[in-house]
Amino acid sequence: MLPELGHFALILAMLLAALQAFFGIAGPALGRDRWTAAVTPAVAGQFVMVATAVACLIASFVANDFSVTYIAENSNSALPLFYRVAAMWGAHEGSLLLWIFLLGCWTVAVAIGVSKLPARFAARVLGVLGVVSFGFLLFTLATSNPFLRLDPPAPDGRDLNPILQDFALAIHPPILYTGYVGFAVAFAFACAAMLEGRMDQMWARWTRPWTTSAWAFLSVGIALGSWWAYYELGWGGYWFWDPVENASFMPWLVGTALIHSLAVTDKRGLFKSWTLLLAVLAFSLSLLGTFLVRSGVLVSVHSFAADPTRGIFILAFLIVMIGGALTLYAWRAPLLKSQAGFDLGARESFLLFNNILLVIGAATVFGGTMAPLIADALGLGTLSVGTPYFNPTFMLSMLPLLALLSLGVHAKWKRGQLSAARRILLTTLVIAAIAGVIIVFGVYSHGKVLSPVAATLGVWIILSSLVDPVDRLRRKLSLPRSVIGMSVAHIGLGLFVLSVTTVESFTLERDVALGQGERTSVGNYEFRFEGVKSIEGPNYNGVEGKVTVTRHGVPTSVVYPQKRQYWVQRQVTTEAAIEMHHGSNVFVALGDELGAGKWSVRFQIRPLVNFLWLGAFIMAVGGAIAATDRRYRVAREAVTTVPVATPGVAGGASHATPGQFREECPGPTLSGRMPAQEEAG
Amino acid sequence: MIRPFLIIVLAGMLLASGAAYAVDPTEMPTPELQKRYHGLTHELRCMQCQNEAIADSPVSLAADLRREVKEMLIAGKSDDDVRNFMVARYGDFILFRPRVAARTLWLWSAPGVLLLIGAAVAVRITRQRAALVEQDNDPVDEDVRSS
Amino acid sequence: MNRFILPLGIFGLLAVVLAIGIKHSPEKGTIPSPLIGKAAPQFTLPVLTDSNRTLRSADLKGRWYVFNVWGTWCGGCREEHSVLLEIRKTAQVPLIGLDWKDEDPQALQWLAELGNPYEVVAADREGRIAIDWGVYGAPETFLVDPQGIVVYKYVGPLTLEAWQTLFVPRLPPQQAAKS
């Protein structure tokens, strides 16, 4: 019953989304105020229907209803309750429903927020969001229905992929999607402005808090994914430049450019067409990411089950949405001109460089991610692009940006007046350089050429970001949330940069074969392997090793790395033991039994790695603080057009899959399908 | 604000669940060979688990490929010999770093070209705007001195 | 005006690339073999069924043959086995088997139980020869011409349809069907 109810609710939701889109766009365009007013009820109705569908699906998971195909493929009666709920978004169909639900949440929030804005503009924003909702609902119902029944029902489910049975990964998709989907709001604002033919500074002010909050969520989502990968996957790797990782990183880069560009448009009415384009681009990259992950065009450890039919559908959707928005842009943007000026050393300049460098960074990642596809389309053979490409090329645009940041925070609007800040600049730079050198050569004693440079840049950013707030506090000036937020976010970035530098330069790793009682040392730590014993858990069994850790001869801890085999999926996972010690992570993982009581064991010392995610988290917090600045609460009367020279414008077992092996490939497929299952399914 | 995060981190500490990865305790006769072995096995893609390097992949194909690398290095072959060996059998896909060749020129030169274009755009816009500063008398909201 | 059309133009190109990507995506799981058009790798391997014999690649020169990589641990190989038996019945071209990373007793039992479609099976216990052939999964099937050139490679369990549409057209007629 519940699945049918959910299915029906989805159909209703799709119809309501169509109405929302129609009324929102046709109403204002044709001057029909009744239609314009009908948008908000449509939004509410659509949300209620989507929420109902989600509730039905989750309830069916909790109730172990294995007559639903999706549940039979992704759950199991032995699965703990928490994961039964999280399994809802564990594979393609359910995660798509999550996408739609979160879009609904954002739409409702926007509907409430824009109620104080001019009715026609508000309706257009909601209308554009309605188009997106409609597209996704249509796609879901046509190709990816999570409520399809299995006949006869399965006696029990295939279980959630054991790798996904982890807290961080359970919450990673909702948070990530909240950010990902949230850029639709900026997109909708941009389209509404272009449809309206008008774009002024107020527009930027309205758009900013939505964009910054989406960005904050995306930051946390990406950081969670990276943290999870560190624990779950990569033997201490935290970023692989995997196509799906890149798919979330590109919108983040463009989103960062967007929030800065919005600042300039808000403040001085400049960069309007830039901001418009970035707003369209950010969400376009989100959509593109959705396409890449679900269409099977790219090889990725994250890919959902590949399906060319889905690929065609999403591509059509992309063409409509992105092509439509870019056509609007080509039509309206030429009319957005401003006569404002600024000096070379002004804040606007730095934000311009910021825009350019971030876009180049995003384009670099884009090129590398799409390279296999481009090479294939041009007949240039198979191309493979990985970390050895992305690292140097990405750094090429990022290093200058990091340096310019520490200069730019001191620059004033319009006039810059950087010479006034010369002393502070020099002081902070010198302190940063000393700190950088100490960290690299004093604390860690070696490093690559770039290490002191990057460490200096990281520290410099932190110091530079503190200057303005400290100065204001000292001189008893106002310290609005936007300034606090900005400073906190930049400090988070600096911390992140510092952490990446130390991790990349100073990680120590060793793989050793050890018998019981044997020792090895890595860095300042000594490890003694005490042997293994058998263990059993709620839905798995395995072995647990015991390793004693000492530092400079002083015992610090005992760790218990495990290897588990889950009963249902028969997949072996490794539970590494990670300890934080003196700011570093000590990472111990069991490898294979080598016979005669010996095991291969991996040891890693990763300095300051936790600050990586802490830094990202702090960045998000900074964004959240900035987004709640008082200036963004707009009263209806305050809405006017600024009189500047802006005219009336603004993926089954095909014959081609590789064969089966008795071993499994590690790595998650959020569809919960491992290669072996692909064959059997 | 930081504390809950730390608690989550600490709580997640003991149970870091991960797929079974390979641990490779291969010892090469000299440190220099060890370094080259480590480098090469991290540079070559496992053809079965295509997102892993052969150093990290647990499948037997990866172990076989590691063995090939080890034997070739001990036999005195160069890093490029090893790469060529692999590419001759599996194609360019086995390399994580795309080769710098005529057909990948666009990929390797793109970031530099983009930077040049970006610099040109930056120069043009800043010049344009700097010229407008004199006659731009709109006041700027400086009291909060913020973005 | 021109530069504002640029984003739309770039997107248009991207859409074309993506469309081509979708068209090619059923083959995405397979890596194109660099051996196509080149000489088949040389090898000397013990024969599975008779440990005193060895099979050399040179022995196979001068005729067409189908080179099938399999193992008892491979589910897809079990799937395609009946297809191989059918090919053995209906086609002239011989099937040469490569038993990849397997245990001899199990392989022999497999052939005894399921039938032996191969003219001869070479045992690659260590996997070295499979690497030379660029094998990255089982089953994989190659087509080699009398000059010893690899003409085609098929990845995954062979189906009769695949045999008819992909292998038969590449064979001279008298090899494809017994007279």
What are A383-416's pLDDT values in tens digits? Answer: 778 888 899 899 999 999 999 999 898 888 888 7
Lowest-pLDDT range of A140-149, A263-272, A656-665, C22-31: A656-665
Residues 117-136 of C with CB under 8 A from B: 126-128, 130-134, 136
| Residue C31 burial (C-beta neighbours within 10 Å; 0-12, 13-18, 19+) | buried
Contacts of B131 in chain A (CB under 8 A): 341
Buried b / exposed e over A276-303, threshold 16 CB at 10 Å, is bbbbbbbbbbbbbbbbbbbbbbbbbbbb
Mean pLDDT value across chain C: 87
Count CA within 13 A, CB hemisphere, residue B76.
0
**Best residue in C98, C136, C153 to probe B by mutation, most B CBs within 10 Å?**
C136
Which candidate from B92, B108, B122 shows the least CB-CB separation from A352?
A: B122
Kindly tell me if the per-residue pLDDT of B15 is higher than 60: no
Q: Give the per-residue pLDDT at A164.
A: 75
Dihedral of CA A226/A227/A231/A237: which sign? positive
Element housing A678 (H / E) = helix A675-680
Q: Give the per-residue pLDDT at B123.
A: 93
Contacts of A329 in chain C (CB under 8 A): 4, 7-8
Contact at 8 Å (CB) between C64 and C150? no
Q: Which amino acid is at A509?
A: E
In a 3-state reduction of DSSP, which class is residue A451? Answer: helix
DSSP string computed for B86-131: HHHHH-GGGBSS---SGGGHHHHHHHHHHHHHHHHHHHHHHHHHHH
Q: Give the per-residue pLDDT at A233.
A: 66
Count CA within 13 A, CB hemisphere, residue A499.
20
Task: Report d(CA C103, CA A509) in Å as an integer.
Answer: 35
Q: Can you state the angle between helices A272-295 and A324-332, rounded to 10 degrees?
A: 170
How many DSSP H helices and E strands does chain C contain?
Answer: 6, 7
Q: Give the per-residue pLDDT at A383.
A: 76
Q: Give the per-residue pLDDT at A641.
A: 37
Inter-chain CB proximity A414 and B136 less than 8 Å: yes
Q: Give the per-residue pLDDT at A149.
A: 87
**Best residue in B71, B89, B124 to probe C by mutation, most C CBs within 10 Å?**
B89
Cα A466 to Cα A405, A423, A438, A499, A625: the distances in Å are 13, 15, 21, 19, 16
Inter-chain CB proximity C7 and A330 less than 8 Å: yes
Q: Give the per-residue pLDDT at A667.
A: 52
Q: Give the per-residue pLDDT at A151.
A: 79
* Percent of chain A at pLDDT exceeding 70: 89
Phi-psi category of B49—alpha, beta or left, where left has phi over 0 and alpha has psi -120 to 50?
A: beta
Instruction: Report the 10 Å Cβ neighbour count for B38.
Output: 16
Lowest-pLDDT range of A135-149, A289-303, A508-522, B27-41: A289-303
Q: Does C21 touch chain B (CB under 8 A)?
A: no
**Best residue in A326, A328, A380, A669 to probe C by mutation, most C CBs within 10 Å?**
A326
In a 3-state reduction of DSSP, which class is residue C144? Answer: strand
Domain boundaries, chain A: 1-160, 508-610
Per-residue H/E/C for A133-188: HHHHHHHHHHHCCCCCECCCCCCCCCCCCHHHCCHHHHHHHHHHHHHHHHHHHHHH
Most confident of A63-67, A131-135, A514-518: A131-135
Kindly tell me if the per-residue pLDDT of A220 is higher than 90: yes
Q: Does A673 touch chain B (CB under 8 A)?
A: no
Nearest residue to A128 via CA among A140, A139, A114: A114
Cα A353 to Cα A250, A397, A405, A411, B124: the distances in Å are 18, 10, 10, 13, 12
Kindly tell me if the per-residue pLDDT of C114 is higher than 70: yes
Inter-chain CB proximity C131 and B47 less than 8 Å: no
Contacts of B47 in chain C (CB under 8 A): 31, 136-137
Lowest-pLDDT range of A475-489, B5-19, C44-58: B5-19
Q: Give the per-residue pLDDT at B142.
A: 55
Kindly tell me if the per-residue pLDDT of A668 is higher than 80: no
Provide the residue count of chain B.
147
Element housing C100 (H / E) = strand C95-100
Which candidate from B91, B103, B125 shows the least CB-CB separation from A380?
A: B103
Average pLDDT over residues A182-186: 95
Nearest residue to A88 via CA among A3, A11, A156, A155: A3
* Percent of chain B at pLDDT exceeding 70: 78
Residue A648's pLDDT band (boundaries 50, 70, 90)? very low
Q: If you count residue pairs, one on B and one on C, with CB atoms under 8 Å apart, how many are there? A: 37
Q: Give the per-residue pLDDT at C25.
A: 64
Task: Report d(CA A193, CA A262) in Å as an integer.
Answer: 14
Element housing A87 (H / E) = none
DSSP string computed for A589-637: EEEEEEETTEEEEEEEEEETTHHHHHHHHHHHHHHHHHHT-GGG---GG
Residue A494's pLDDT band (boundaries 50, 70, 90)? very high
- The residue among B106 and A619 whose pLDDT is bigger is A619
Average pLDDT over residues A276-305: 77
* Percent of chain C at pLDDT exceeding 90: 38
Count CA within 13 A, CB hemisphere, residue A523.
23
Task: Report d(CA A332, CA A195) in Å as an integer.
Answer: 9
Instruction: Report the 10 Å Cβ neighbour count for A560.
Output: 18
Overall CATH class of domain A508-610: mainly beta
Kindly tell me if the per-residue pLDDT of B43 is higher than 70: yes
User: How far does C69 lie from chain A, in Å, by closest CA?
Assistant: 10
Contact at 8 Å (CB) between A604 and A587? yes
Q: Which amino acid is at A175?
A: I
Q: Give the per-residue pLDDT at B21.
A: 61
Inter-chain CB proximity C34 and B88 less than 8 Å: yes
Buried b / exposed e over A187-208, threshold 16 CB at 10 Å, is bbbbbbbbbbebbbbbbbbbbb
Cα A114 to Cα A117, A186, A195, A204, A210: the distances in Å are 5, 13, 17, 13, 11
Lowest-pLDDT range of A438-442, B76-80, C109-113, C167-171: A438-442
**Best residue in A332, A336, A369, A657 to probe C by mutation, most C CBs within 10 Å?**
A657
* Percent of chain A at pLDDT exceeding 90: 35
Buried b / exposed e over A504-519, threshold 16 CB at 10 Å, is ebbbeebbbbbeeebe
Whole-structure pTM value: 0.85
Residue B146's pLDDT band (boundaries 50, 70, 90)? very low
Q: For B67, which residue in chain C has the nearest alpha carbon?
A: C128
Residue A338, phi then psi, degrees to nearest 5: -130, 150
Kindly tell me if the per-residue pLDDT of A451 is higher than 50: yes
Q: Give the per-residue pLDDT at A619.
A: 95
Kindly tell me if the per-residue pLDDT of A679 is higher than 50: no
Average pLDDT over residues A205-228: 93
Kindly tell me if the per-residue pLDDT of A675 is higher than 60: no
Reported ipTM: 0.81
Q: Give the per-residue pLDDT at A446.
A: 58
Q: Give the per-residue pLDDT at A596.
A: 81
Phi-psi category of A559—alpha, beta or left, where left has phi over 0 and alpha has psi -120 to 50?
A: beta
Chains in touch with A (≥3 Cβ pairs < 8 A): B, C
Residue C118's pLDDT band (boundaries 50, 70, 90)? very high
Q: Give the per-residue pLDDT at A306.
A: 59
Kindly tell me if the per-residue pLDDT of A312 is higher than 70: yes
Q: Give the per-residue pLDDT at A187.
A: 96
Residue A336's pLDDT band (boundaries 50, 70, 90)? confident
Element housing B14 (H / E) = none
Contacts of C136 in chain B (CB under 8 A): 47-48, 61, 90
- Compute the radius of gyration of chain A from its Cα atoms: 27
Kindly tell me if the per-residue pLDDT of A305 is higher than 70: no
Phi-psi category of A331—alpha, beta or left, where left has phi over 0 and alpha has psi -120 to 50?
A: alpha
Contacts of B130 in chain A (CB under 8 A): 341-344
Average pLDDT over residues A213-241: 85
Q: Give the per-residue pLDDT at A212.
A: 95
Task: Report d(CA A209, CA A219) in Å as an integer.
Answer: 15
Kindly tell me if the per-residue pLDDT of B102 is higher than 50: yes
- The residue among A283 and B17 whose pLDDT is bigger is A283
Kindly tell me if the per-residue pLDDT of A674 is higher than 70: no
Most confident of A118-132, A193-207, A523-537, B103-117: A118-132
Q: Does A600 touch chain B (CB under 8 A)?
A: yes
What are A112-132's pLDDT values in tens digits? Answer: 988 888 888 999 999 999 999
Mean pLDDT value across chain A: 84
Contacts of C31 in chain A (CB under 8 A): 382
Task: Report d(CA A287, CA A254) in Å as an integer.
Answer: 13
Kindly tell me if the per-residue pLDDT of B135 is higher than 80: no
